Amino acid sequence: MEVTLHRLKLLRELRRRGTVRAVAEALHYSTSTVSQQLSLLEREAGADLFARHGRRITLTEAGELLADHADQILDAVDSAGTAIESLRDGSGATLHAGVWASVATGLLPAGLSLLAERSPGIVVHSVELMPEAGSDAVRDGSLDVSFVIDYSNYAMPRTPTLKRRLIAVEQIHVAARAGALGPEPVELASIASDPWILSDARSHFGRAVRIACRNAGFEPEVRHVVGEQPTAMALAAAGLGVTLVSDLAARTAPAGVELTPLADTFERNLSVAYRVRDENRWPVRRFVDAMADAARDAGLRRPGTDQPGTNQPETGVPET
């Protein structure tokens, strides 16, 4: 029997995710493409791998058996690639990294510059995605590494096959129209009556902010639901409400918005996630080290300390 590796990967993801649509969304294919490739895999295997119930599809006994072997085969291929990569000993490697907007603008450029100076043979391809999607993309092999986050009041779910290294702790700031709050730290309860600009409650940031507000004794009146912090700050600058932003997002604050420190204990932990089996891959180690150093140089607080790095941004009204 001869089967194609990328079709085995689709089979593995189908068992993990349960539906063709979920596989397509995770791997950035159309549902018709996934269905077609699974049908071709069935033909290659020479057995009925799937039971179809209308639009639903489940694995047959043969499908489950092949999926078990697919895990072993794909892991072996990855291990072989890592072994060959180790022979290069720093001469060349390719990494695929997941980022989101504030990391892409506030940390990635400096981190990649450091990496290029130290290890010019490492080529990094970055993909922008939602913070919630990073762990799954690393787990399923779409990415080698991804930035991930936790909040002091809400931890993201852990995946047993992944490891994460904490590289920085971001402070949270209140963003409001210039002059509305002043430079002194404020408590969440003091802005309970303001209209809010927040991301959707299904996002980890939106959920963490709502938890923080509830812990402060109120439910925020969300006037505007937006997914990106720069957009939220632009609305805040126009006087349309208040929002919370992290250190990295604060660096892109537009004119007319004032950043005020948050007095409540509410922080964001920034980490890099990678597969456990890749812990000793030299390009992964060097990527993570470069990003940790870039975070320190950017002024983000170092893990386990109360000390900022070397370039902590000022709060208050940005210069125009």
Which residues, including other chains, have CB under 8 Å from residue 135's CB and lie 6 or more apart? 146, 148, 156, 157, 159, 162, 273
Give every CB contact of residue 216 below 8 A, 6+ residues apart in sequence.
Answer: 187, 188, 189, 192, 264
Instruction: Give the integer Cα–Cα distance in Å for 79 and 85.
Output: 10
> How does strand 145-151 pair with strand 267-275?
antiparallel
CATH number, domain of 112, equals: 3.40.190.290
The answer for residues whose C-beta is within 8 angstroms of residue 289's C-beta and 6 or more apart is none
Q: Is residue 314 pLDDT above 50, yes or no? A: no
| 80 and 167 both lie in a single domain | no
Residue 262 dihedral angles phi and psi, to the nearest 5°? -90, 125
pLDDT confidence bin for 317, thresholds 50/70/90: very low
Quote the mean pLDDT of the chain. 87
Same domain as 126, residue 70: no
C-alpha to C-alpha distance for 223 and 92, rounded to whole angstroms? 50
Average pLDDT over residues 287-296: 96
Q: Read off the pLDDT of each residue in 31-38 and give the average, rounded to a whole number.
A: 88
Any idea which residue has 């119930």 for tokens? 53
Q: Are residues 113 and 130 in the same domain?
A: yes
- Per-residue pLDDT tens over the stretch 159-193: 888 999 999 999 999 999 999 987 889 999 999 99
pLDDT at 319 over 70: no
The whole-angstrom separation of Cα 272 and Cα 164 is 5
Indicate the residue among 26, 61, 86 that finishes a domain: 86
Per DSSP, the three-state class of 184 is coil
Residues 80, 94 within the same domain = no
Residues 103 and 66 in one domain: no
**CATH code of 77's domain:** 1.10.10.10
The residue out of 86, 102, 126 marking a domain boundary is 86
Report the run of H or E that residue 72 belongs to, with start and end: helix 61-88
Is residue 153 located within the same domain as residue 54? no
Whole-number Å distance between alpha carbons of 290 and 112: 7
Please tell me whether residues 161 and 110 are part of one structural domain. yes
pTM of the model: 0.74
Residue 311: what pLDDT? Answer: 42
Contact 129, 26 (CB under 8 A): no
Mean pLDDT of 295-320: 59
Opening angle at CA 315, ends 238 and 240, nearest 5: 15
3-state secondary structure of 121: coil
What whole-number distance in Å separates Cα of residue 129 and Cα of residue 137? 9
Residue 43's contacts (CB-CB under 8 Å, 6 or more residues apart) are none
d(CA 311, CA 213): 30
Count up the domains in the chain and report the number.
2
Whether 140 and 168 share a structural domain: yes
- Categorize the per-residue pLDDT at 85 as very low, low, confident or very high, splitting at 50, 70 and 90: low
Same structural domain for residues 74 and 133?
A: no
- Give the domain extent around 33: 5-86
Instruction: Name residue 161's amino acid.
Output: T
Tell me the average pLDDT across 149-154: 90
Same domain, 112 and 246: yes
At position 240, the amino acid (one-letter code) is L
Q: Are 30 and 149 in a shared domain?
A: no
Counting beta carbons within 10 angstroms of the beta carbon of residue 116, is it exposed (0 to 12), middle (13 to 18) or buried (19 or more)? middle
Q: Are residues 21 and 155 in the same domain?
A: no
CA distance 63 to 280: 33
Type of residue numbered 44: E
Among the three residues 42, 65, 86, which one is the final residue of a domain in this structure? 86
Report which of 141, 199, 169 is spatially closest to residue 269, judged by C-alpha positions.
Answer: 169
